Amino acid sequence: MEEKEYYEQIKDWNFDEFQIETEEFTNWDMFEILKSVTNENSRILDLGTGGGEKVIKYFPEYAKEIIATDFSKAMVETAKENLKKSGRKNITFRIMDNLHMDVPKEYFDVVVARNTPSCPKQIYECLKPGGYLIIHGVDKYDCFNLKKLYGKGQAYDDTTPISIIDYSAVIDAGFKDAELVPLHEREYFKNEDLLYKFMLKVPILDEFSEEEGEVKDYYLNELDKEKLHEYVLKNTCEKGIRLIRRYYGITARK
């Protein structure tokens, strides 16, 4: 419930306010993959949609049906407002807990999970035979030099990386053709204040274990500014203050 209240307060995941510049080093684009496996008859489920910005902007307009879900009422309300502004007609936003999915069996052609907890076994059941699963996640070594400075963070003490935990769960659920791709990016912030506000919004430095399946039971409402300043001094370059990001992509078929 504390996690849900946190997201109720945030209401959206639109990071435009932080003016982040991104440098990508891996040729893996989940939205291009999505387009390559869909057509005008495709039904798509998006898990953990947040404020819906990415679905509205990047999911195919030609798809027959897109259902995008989040477990936060405030997030879904934000998404619905964004949908009205967009004029798109093939998207429906609704409330749903990813770990307790209430969708029809063998209904979707593609399920997408972006930076959110998910249950591959439940996803498998709601996919049609031959359907696709596409996952984009944040790995253990994301911002690892920053985590080491603070001595804590998402999956910081875990032995097994989050990507391997998720990949194993996908295989165990019965999926075939499962592939795991490490994704390397750098993000640049224009100043320390923007970085500080960003770190309060994302769970990078929150202490919880993916390996042990812990629920995120708290989120930051303050941050040691002296340590952050130390990080800034060591990681400022011509492009700005650098964060080294480590994500992962998983694709699989039923």
Name the helix (H) or strand (E) containing 147: helix 144-150
- The number of distinct structural domains making up the chain is 1
How many other C-beta atoms can be found within 10 angstroms of the C-beta atom of residue 132? 24
Q: How much is the pLDDT for 5?
A: 53
Q: How much is the pLDDT for 6?
A: 46
Expressed as residue numbers, the domain containing 40 is: 2-253
C-alpha to C-alpha distance for 170 and 250, rounded to whole angstroms: 9
Query: Phi first, then psi: what are they for 23, rounded to 5°?
Result: -120, 115
**What stretches in the chain show pLDDT beneath 70?**
1-15, 213-221
Contact 179, 12 (CB under 8 A): no
C-alpha to C-alpha distance for 133 and 254, rounded to whole angstroms: 8
How many other C-beta atoms can be found within 10 angstroms of the C-beta atom of residue 10? 17
Kindly report the CATH number assigned to the domain that includes residue 160.
3.40.50.150
This prediction has a pTM of 0.89
Distances in Å between the alpha carbon of 207 and those of 1, 125, 139, 215, 226?
Answer: 17, 32, 14, 10, 19
C-alpha to C-alpha distance for 153 and 147, rounded to whole angstroms: 6
Residue 91 bridge partners (DSSP): 66
Residue 48: what residue type? G
Which distant-in-sequence residues (6+ apart) come within 8 Å of 204 by Cβ?
A: 138, 142, 143, 146, 147, 153, 154
What are the tokens at 228?
């952050």
